[in-house]
Amino acid sequence: MYSTIVIGTFIPLEMPAFAGLGPIALWTIILLIYAFTASVLPVTQLLQPRDYINAYQLVIAMGLLVLGVFFSAFGGNLHVVAPAVNANPVGSPPLWPFLFITIACGAISGFHSLVSSGTTSKQIRKESDSLFVGYGGMLTEGALATLVIIAVSAGIGMGYTSGGKTLIGLQAWTAHYSSWAAAGGLSSKIGAFIDGSANLLGSIGIPKAVSLVLMGVFVASFAGTTLDSATRIQRYVLQDTFPKTFKNRYFATAVVILFAVVLVFSSGANGKGALALWPLFGAVNQTLAALALLVVTIYLRPRTKWGWLISALPAAFMFIMAGWAAVLNQVRFGAGHHILLQIINLVIILSMVWVLIEAIMKFSKTKYEGKPEVSNAESSL
């Protein structure tokens, strides 16, 4: 695979347009077909083997980045060029509460709770392995997040091309992060990481052209893992919510893919319609995180006298932050006349309130039942 990355760097192939659809639209269709196939097959036949390969990609990419940081710091020109504090960038939302819906993944993430309960829990050998897999996975994500921060705050300063000129230092960072709007899109965020990482890999002798493709493949491969896992989880949600209607997994998955197709091509044949929902991602993801913590709280309530506070306190914090951000988003979407975002965001806010009320009612009716029997997994925690 890595040899094809080198070959592709110097002999690039581009998807041709077909039937009025551009390369992005065609690749989107191919990926959706893959997502359908992967989500209806047993996890051991496609999802697990793909994850296995991606695990090696993760270890190799992180290892290369660590080496790049080491050699760049001691033998190169690696310096943090981003300002330590920039409390009010032009066009940015307030730091509170948006900081807490922006930082996710290794810190706290609702999507990860869906993955862990939907697919991970079905693949571990025994319950006690969940500590190593779950907590270890989040620590690894935290390590990756640290490398990302180094790439976008220091690595990008080693060389950044803008307007046909190669900039370094603070000028390079400022050129990319000139304003909140310029750096706020998904592609802009990924681009900063890829550019900064490529500079780091250059310090260990990998040509920048190859490094750019290598890190691009690394990012795309993990987007692929999200795609098939998210499709499978959405099928689970449909089948759990409407068990009779969506009993057949092929029909349920087809409905999921159909909605994705409608969303993707809602803006035309360019296949970028789904990006319209990107502004909702942070608040929705952290709302799911708060809901997951609520479930843990309800589970712990009858089993521990005060142990439920471990999840209840962060659940309350995340509900406040996510709800606050969602309300501010509603105002912002209204000012920008984004009707679709307003409707979806309002549904999210109402769902938050509904689930929170139900959780409080359930919690108030549940009492501590005394010391329970402790399983081997719980005793190891």
> For the chain, what is the mean pLDDT?
87
Residues 117-155: pLDDT tens digits? 888 888 889 989 988 988 888 888 889 999 999 999 999
Residues 58-114: pLDDT tens digits? 899 999 999 999 999 888 788 999 888 877 777 788 888 988 988 887 788 888 888
Where in 146-241 does DSSP place strands (E)? 160-162, 165-167
Predicted pLDDT of residue 381: 46
Cβ atoms < 10 Å from Cβ of 260: 21
Residue with the bigger pLDDT between 270 and 160: it is 160
Spell out the domain ranges in the chain.
2-270
Residues 141-197: pLDDT tens digits? 889 999 999 999 999 999 888 878 888 888 988 888 877 777 776 777 888 899 999
> Is the confidence at residue 380, as pLDDT, over 50?
no
> Is the confidence at residue 253, as pLDDT, over 90?
yes
Proportion of the chain above pLDDT 70, given as a percent: 96
Per-residue pLDDT band for 265 (boundaries 50, 70, 90) equals confident
Per-residue pLDDT band for 16 (boundaries 50, 70, 90) equals confident
**Whole-number Å distance between alpha carbons of 82 and 196:** 12
93: left (phi over 0), alpha (psi -120 to 50) or beta: beta
Sequence-distant (≥ 6) Cβ neighbours of residue 26 within 8 angstroms? 15, 17, 18, 271
Q: What is the pTM of this model?
A: 0.84
- CA-nearest of 43, 4, 232, 231 to 124 is 43
Residue 240 φ then ψ, to 5°: -75, -35
**Whole-number Å distance between alpha carbons of 212 and 199:** 9
Predicted pLDDT of residue 330: 94
Average pLDDT of 294-303? 92
What is residue 166's three-state secondary structure? strand
- CA-nearest of 292, 302, 359, 318 to 112 is 292
Predicted pLDDT of residue 371: 63
